[in-house]
Structure 1
Amino acid sequence: MPERNIEFGKYGARGLKGHEAVARQLDDLAGYIATPVSARRGLQARLHYLTRTTHARQAARAAGLTVTDRTLRAWQAGTRSPTRKNLERIEQAYRTVRRENVARYLTARLNRDGRGTRVEIHPINQSQVDRPRQRAVELRHLNVRNWDRIVSAWTAGDDRQLDEAWVDQVIDLGSQWGQYEYVTNIGFAA
């Protein structure tokens, strides 16, 4: 079995780690609010999402939004505006709570009762690599049947666990799996 890449990009190859591409695709599937938090509409939408129920408020507090209820009401009413640091906290809390809320749904959709989901793995960009050093890599397809570890690591925001869970799936490509540790893009749908 090949080992992990130690000096990726040494000869000009470009790409990102496979687990980062998976996290980006899962973020797209989570359906975050498109309007930025710095806009009034985006702020109001996030605050509504984080405060509409008791459970949502508790999850927001656990995710790091530790302002008083009075401050939250003032932000919602528009009488006060959050600082830049608080805007970052609101965005982070929103993304954390959203991930937790959609994780069970995404896992079920991606697992599809054991049938799994077909994943397209686009190889690294080797356009800047000298001809003799280029690898023969191509678009690969993989059917991932168990998404539980991947989605739970994504929900927790644990890159190391997400990387391990993704590599456990990519090993199914056979002896060439190391060529797909770094990729241009990974695509799948739920």
Structure 2
Amino acid sequence: MPERNSDFGRFGASGVRGSELVGRKLDDLAGGIATPVTAKRGLMARLNYLTRSEHARQAARDAGLTVTDRTLKAWLEGKRRPSAKNLKKIDDAYRVGRRQNVARHLLKRLNANGGTRVEIHPLNQSGVARPLQRDVPFRHMNVRRWDRIVGAWAAGDHHGLDAAWTDDILPDLGSQYGAYEYCTNVGFAA
């Protein structure tokens, strides 16, 4: 890709990779349990979600949560509390399971009616000296092909998500698409 940023921020620009912002927005659209895993309510909700089916239990094992049935039962009954390390594993397993469960529905919503309108807010150049600033305007576009993006997001593949966003979607912006590799916000709704 031309204009790939290898030394981003050298002159004071700030922003986040567009693909990371897309992943965050997909997480927001996926919804889920708002109570943190450190609270009893949040922990119980996640444990119930992860133990309700064999598919959910397998997702928990895949995320590294390998505890005995006895330990899991003690957690569910409130007799024991998971360690901080296991709390993180529980939260990670919940997010992976949630992503996999909502990916198909989310993909259907994003691809409906010819795609979804996406607004891309460019990088922040307030820290860049005036002669070095570029004219990078706010852009919007209609993304019609969400399959690769949602697939990479659901799998937790950050490199795949970045490749899908940077190589498949951004070139539709025209010749200056490399200027939108880093952004301050990427917004869309489904």
State the TM-score, normalized to the length of structure 2. 0.96
Once the two structures are superposed, what CA deviation does each residue of 1:75-106 show, in whole Å capped at 9, x if it has no partner? 01100000011001101100110010011011
Once the two structures are superposed, what CA deviation does each residue of 1:118-144 show, in whole Å capped at 9, x if it has no partner? 000000011111111111111100111
SS, match of residue 127 in structure 2: coil
Residue 147 of structure 2 is matched in structure 1 by: 148
Q: Would the aligned equivalents of 2:13 and 2:126 in 1 still touch at CA under 8 Å?
A: yes
Instruction: Answer with 49-58 or 148-157: which moved more.
Output: 49-58
Shift in Å at residue 33 of structure 1?
A: 1.1
5+ residue gaps, structure 2, are none
Q: Would the aligned equivalents of 1:15 and 1:183 in 2 still touch at CA under 8 Å?
A: yes
Q: Which amino acid is 1:179 matched to? A: A
For 1:2 and 1:63, the matched residues in 2 are separated by: 36
Once the two structures are superposed, what CA deviation does each residue of 1:31-82 show, in whole Å capped at 9, x if it has no partner? 0211110110110010011011232222222232211121111101100000
Deviating runs (4+, > 3 A) in structure 1?
none
For 1:111 and 1:64, the matched residues in 2 are separated by: 33
Residue 95 of structure 2 is matched in structure 1 by: 95
SS, match of residue 140 in structure 2: strand
For 1:129 and 1:58, the matched residues in 2 are separated by: 49
Residue 5 of structure 1 is matched in structure 2 by: 5
Q: Which amino acid is 1:118 matched to? A: R
5+ residue gaps, structure 1, are none
Once the two structures are superposed, what CA deviation does each residue of 1:134-186 show, in whole Å capped at 9, x if it has no partner? 11111100111010000011111111111110011110001010110000010
Q: Which amino acid is 1:120 matched to? A: E
Instruction: Answer with 27-36 or 49-58: which moved more.
Output: 49-58
Q: Would the aligned equivalents of 2:117 and 2:188 in 1 still touch at CA under 8 Å?
A: yes
For 1:109 and 1:5, the matched residues in 2 are separated by: 32
Q: Which amino acid is 2:124 matched to? A: N
Q: Which amino acid is 1:108 matched to? A: K
For 1:63 and 1:35, the matched residues in 2 are separated by: 20
Identical aligned pairs, as a percentage? 67
Pairing 1:24-173 to 2, within 5 Å after superposition:
24-112=24-112, 115-167=114-166, 168-173=168-173
Aligned residues: 189
Residue 160 of structure 2 corresponds to residue 180 of structure 1: no
Q: Which amino acid is 2:66 matched to? A: T
SS, match of residue 44 in structure 2: helix
For 1:85 and 1:171, the matched residues in 2 are separated by: 41
For 2:11 and 2:144, the matched residues in 1 are separated by: 35
For 2:7 and 2:59, the matched residues in 1 are separated by: 40
Q: Would the aligned equivalents of 1:18 and 1:186 in 2 still touch at CA under 8 Å?
A: yes
SS, match of residue 184 in structure 1: strand
